[in-house]
């Protein structure tokens, strides 16, 4: 009897609950989030296609390209490895300079890959645009960054800026390609694109040179050094594929560089370094007798203090590069310098995102260590 009463009570409670749910009003759909940076329909904007003036950091400007924003010309497809070719289609290191008196700056662009971020690198670095401006003393200072949420973005990069005409620079995405890019200003405001400057510092390297894992495109050490020395930079970092390849060297020799920086060791082992370093340096020196060449040891992974096998790998890699460098000096190669790698990320183990790839802090520290070598090579 007690069991029958209990079952009846449970059934009655269930029926009551269903009846109440049926009477309850349907939940309202959550409102769509409003992108406060999106361009409003009532904004009158003059758009400027950056291809009218060209990009700084875009080497081989007169060569045929499969896409305007590729880092290597079309002829590289089939000459460099398929991996290098694919990575060369990312727009890393390229930037557009312009002057304007606008108090709002807009951008309309589309990236080539739907994946806007990586597990260890935010969308702002992988696929964003990064805006800098010169202050009244001529120093480059950060302004704003695009926070990409889709492949195509039409946004206000910055607004409410102080009045006055100034120079700006927009860095392009690090780990994505670009289909098109236009910079906008309110109708009637001044806008003048600036042509690329000559004699860039050319960096050939790995995923770190490519930009992993900067939070913004302007935070890679190559970009930081470009601002510090107020000089153009070409970024030929190829993630996992910076290996001192002769085929890449063929393209390096075609750039009228102020300096060549070779920073490939993170993708190489001691045997490869021994076999490939001297030939690459001699290839560059034969084509460009007077251009300084800087060789860079690989950074030590930030967990190396606790991993003996990794310590030995770095030790052996460094020894191989140092031996190649010393042999090149004995062979009479001039204009060669050498950057030790032990302290590139600092000494507190906090300079990387994942032990290998630099954080913003790691990139800043690298720039500090590179700076005196760059300064000496430029003769400043």
Residue pLDDT tens, the chain, 380 long = 454 554 454 444 544 544 454 454 555 655 555 577 899 889 999 999 999 999 999 999 999 999 999 999 999 999 999 999 999 999 999 999 999 999 999 999 999 999 999 999 999 999 999 999 999 999 999 999 999 999 999 999 999 999 999 999 999 999 999 999 999 999 999 999 999 999 999 999 999 999 999 999 999 999 999 999 999 999 999 999 999 999 999 999 999 999 999 999 999 999 999 999 999 999 999 999 999 999 999 999 999 999 999 999 999 999 999 999 999 999 999 999 999 999 999 999 999 999 999 999 999 999 999 999 999 999 99
- Give the right CATH number for 197-380 from 3.50.50.60, 3.40.50.1110, 3.40.50.460, 3.40.50.2020: 3.40.50.1110
User: CB-based contacts of 207: which residues, under 8 Å, 6+ apart?
Assistant: 237, 238, 239, 240, 242, 266, 267, 357
Alpha-carbon dihedral of residues 357, 360, 366, 372, nearest 10 degrees? 160
C-alpha to C-alpha distance for 276 and 243, rounded to whole angstroms:
8
Cα 262 to chain centroid, rounded:
17
Alpha-carbon dihedral of residues 52, 58, 60, 62, nearest 10 degrees? 0
Instruction: Classify domain 35-57+93-196 at the CATH topology level.
Output: Jelly Rolls (2.60.120)
What local confidence, expressed as pLDDT, does residue 43 receive? Answer: 93
What local confidence, expressed as pLDDT, does residue 117 receive? Answer: 98
Q: What is the DSSP string of 126-153?
A: HT--EEEEE-TTS-EEEEEE----SSEE
What local confidence, expressed as pLDDT, does residue 36 receive? Answer: 75
SS3 344: coil
Q: How many CB atoms lie within 10 A of CB 47?
A: 13
Query: Is there a shared CATH topology between the 35-57+93-196 domain and the 197-380 domain?
Result: no
Kind plus residue range of the DSSP H or E element containing 2: helix 2-23
C-alpha to C-alpha distance for 101 and 140, rounded to whole angstroms:
17
What local confidence, expressed as pLDDT, does residue 7 receive? Answer: 44
Q: How many CB atoms lie within 10 A of CB 371?
A: 15
User: CB-based contacts of 309: which residues, under 8 Å, 6+ apart?
Assistant: none
In sequence order, the β-bridge partners of residue 168 are 98, 133
β 191-194/178-186 pair status: unpaired
User: CB-based contacts of 188: which residues, under 8 Å, 6+ apart?
Assistant: 46
In sequence order, the β-bridge partners of residue 77 are 80
What local confidence, expressed as pLDDT, does residue 106 receive? Answer: 98
Q: Is 302 exposed, middle or buried (0-12, 13-18, 19+ CB in 10 A)?
A: buried
What local confidence, expressed as pLDDT, does residue 37 receive? Answer: 86
What local confidence, expressed as pLDDT, does residue 128 receive? Answer: 98
Domain extents for the chain? 35-57+93-196, 197-380
């Amino acid at each position: 009897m007690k069991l029958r009463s209990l079952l009846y009570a449970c059934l009655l409670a269930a029926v009551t609950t269903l009846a109440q749910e049926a009477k309850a009003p349907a939940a309202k759909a959550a409102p769509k989030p409003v992108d406060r940076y999106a361009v409003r329909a009532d904004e009158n904007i003059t758009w400027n296609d950056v291809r009218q003036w060209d990009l700084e950091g875009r080497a081989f400007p007169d060569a045929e390209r499969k896409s305007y924003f590729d880092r290597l010309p079309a002829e590289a497809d089939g000459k460099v490895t398929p991996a290098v070719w694919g990575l060369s289609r990312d727009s890393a290191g390229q930037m557009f300079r312009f002057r304007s008196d606008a108090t709002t700056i807009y951008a309309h662009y589309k990236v080539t890959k739907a994946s806007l971020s990586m597990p260890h690198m935010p969308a702002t670095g992988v696929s964003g645009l990064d805006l800098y401006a010169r202050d009244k003393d001529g120093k480059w200072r950060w302004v704003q960054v695009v926070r990409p949420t889709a492949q195509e973005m039409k946004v206000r990069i910055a607004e409410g800026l102080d009045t006055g005409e100034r120079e700006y620079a927009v860095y392009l995405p690090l780990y994505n390609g670009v289909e098109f890019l236009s910079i906008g200003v309110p109708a009637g405001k001044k806008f003048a694109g600036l042509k690329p400057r000559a004699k860039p510092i050319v960096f050939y390297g790995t995923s770190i040179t490519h930009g992993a894992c900067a939070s913004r495109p302007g935070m890679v050490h190559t970009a930081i050094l470009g601002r510090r020395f107020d000089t153009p930079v070409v970024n030929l970092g190829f993630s996992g594929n910076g290996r001192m390849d002769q085929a890449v060297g063929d393209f390096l020799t075609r750039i009228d560089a102020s300096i060549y920086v070779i920073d490939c060791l993170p993708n190489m082992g001691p045997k490869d370094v021994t076999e490939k370093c001297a030939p690459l340096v001699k290839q560059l020196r034969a084509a460009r007798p007077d251009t300084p060449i800087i060789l860079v040891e690989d950074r030590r992974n930030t967990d190396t203090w606790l991993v003996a096998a990794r310590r030995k790998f770095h030790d052996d890699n460094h020894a191989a590069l140092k031996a190649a460098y010393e042999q090149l000096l004995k062979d009479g190669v001039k204009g060669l310098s050498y950057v030790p790698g032990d302290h590139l990320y600092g000494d507190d183990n906090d300079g990387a995102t994942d032990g290998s790839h630099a954080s913003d802090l790691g990139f800043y520290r690298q720039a500090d260590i590179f700076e005196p070598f760059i300064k000496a090579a430029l003769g400043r």
